[in-house]
A and B are shown apart, each in its own frame.
Chain A
Amino acid sequence: MNAPSLHPPVGPEDHIQGSDDAEVTLVEYGDFECPYCGAAYPILKRVQQRLGRRLRFVYRHFPIAELHPHAEPAAEASESVAAQGGPDAFWPMHDLLFEHQRRLKYDDLARYAEQAGAQGDLVLNDLDEGRYRERVRESFMSGARSGVNGTPTLFIDGIRYDGPRDEEKLVAALTLVANQAGV
């Protein structure tokens, strides 16, 4: 059986850390309120540090609203921040959300947005208007179609990774793929 694969592939619409020339790409479908994603967050940070320029990291939204009532607004807020400040604002916002998973009310989202360099009142306005609801939904559906089965779900070079998510196993899996790319 082939493992489920990512579609659409990584593109300009994505939130990307690292170079397009990187040897391997790791995509995470995550939910800002999911404790398993919160647990994966520092691990993925260390994995990124260890792989360095060899790795490109992409974050896509997969909020499961029935379980996590704050996940969808948090995802929309991160999109609003990205629209205001680009990747330099999105990634700090992404980090703040994962570092404060238990405090994701509207006021909190606005405060993190300010810390990430965006305007909190604009974020709240976007949330009220649902400006990024469709974008988050598209991300969710791309995940559902790609075989995302919970959060976090990881894809390595477009193939779903069902292995263990500890630092060493992830570094090993990514290094293996990166080495193949280098041949």
Chain B
Amino acid sequence: MFKTLLINTPAPAFTLPAEPGRQVSLEEFRGRPVVLAFYPADWSPVCGDQMALYRALRDEWDRLGAEVIGISVDGPWCHAAFRDARNLQLTLLADFEPKGAVSRAYGVYDHREGTSERALFVIDKDGIIRWSYLSPIGVNPGADGILEALEQLAQPEAAVARSAR
């Protein structure tokens, strides 16, 4: 059920492969908000898969100036095939070696399954976690919470009021 993870603390730094031969670091995005979407695995069998939903919302992320990044323990070649097959055009990072290290740093590694949990983090332009959400097992968390959190970040006073709650 609902857990608040690491709110108002600096987001743990990381560098992970995005695709074979390309590394991505969190700090590259300093200056604008970043959404980290941890998810268990590529090739989820449902339509309206979480990553497809985020891809479909690209106009909203652009409007809000945010970078949306998916992270799972799948390897970079797996991500590449998944991106191509689903026409995703999202940054997908491979938390592959050492396995799940970044997921663990964010407290969202499922030791029993050996995968990331479904968890969302909204990180502000200064690298501080401002919102997070751990989804119940098997439930795609959707995008409503992310949209709301990003919009609150765009309104500093509202964000302060919210984080004080």
Q: How far is the CB of A148 from chain B (nearest CB, A)?
A: 6
Q: Are A34 and B47 in contact (CB under 8 A)?
A: yes
Q: Are B48 and A1 in contact (CB under 8 A)?
A: no
**Set of chain B residues within 8 Å of A34, measured between Cβ atoms:** 47-48
**Set of chain A residues within 8 Å of B46, measured between Cβ atoms:** 36, 150
**Set of chain B residues within 8 Å of A146, measured between Cβ atoms:** 144
Q: Are B87 and A147 in contact (CB under 8 A)?
A: no
Q: Are B147 and A67 in contact (CB under 8 A)?
A: no
**Set of chain B residues within 8 Å of A4, measured between Cβ atoms:** 142, 144
Q: How large is the interface on B (under 10, 10 to 19, 20 to 34, 35 or more residues)?
A: 20 to 34
Complex Cα spacing A148 to B56, Å: 12
Q: Which among B1, B48, B86, B144 is the interface contact of A151 at CB below 8 angstroms? A: B48
Cβ-based interface call for A23 (8 A): no
Q: Are B2 and A1 in contact (CB under 8 A)?
A: yes
Complex Cα spacing A99 to B92, Å: 36
Complex Cα spacing A162 to B137, Å: 12
**Set of chain A residues within 8 Å of B142, measured between Cβ atoms:** 4, 144, 147-149
Q: How far is the CB of A139 from chain B (nearest CB, A)?
A: 13
| 17 interchain pairs, CB-CB under 8 A | A4-B142, A64-B52, A64-B56, A65-B56, A66-B56, A67-B47, A67-B48, A67-B52, A140-B56, A141-B60, A144-B144, A149-B53, A149-B140, A150-B46, A151-B47, A151-B48, A153-B48
Interface residues of chain A, those whose CB is within 8 Å of chain B, are 1, 4, 31, 34-37, 62, 64-68, 140-141, 144-151, 153, 162
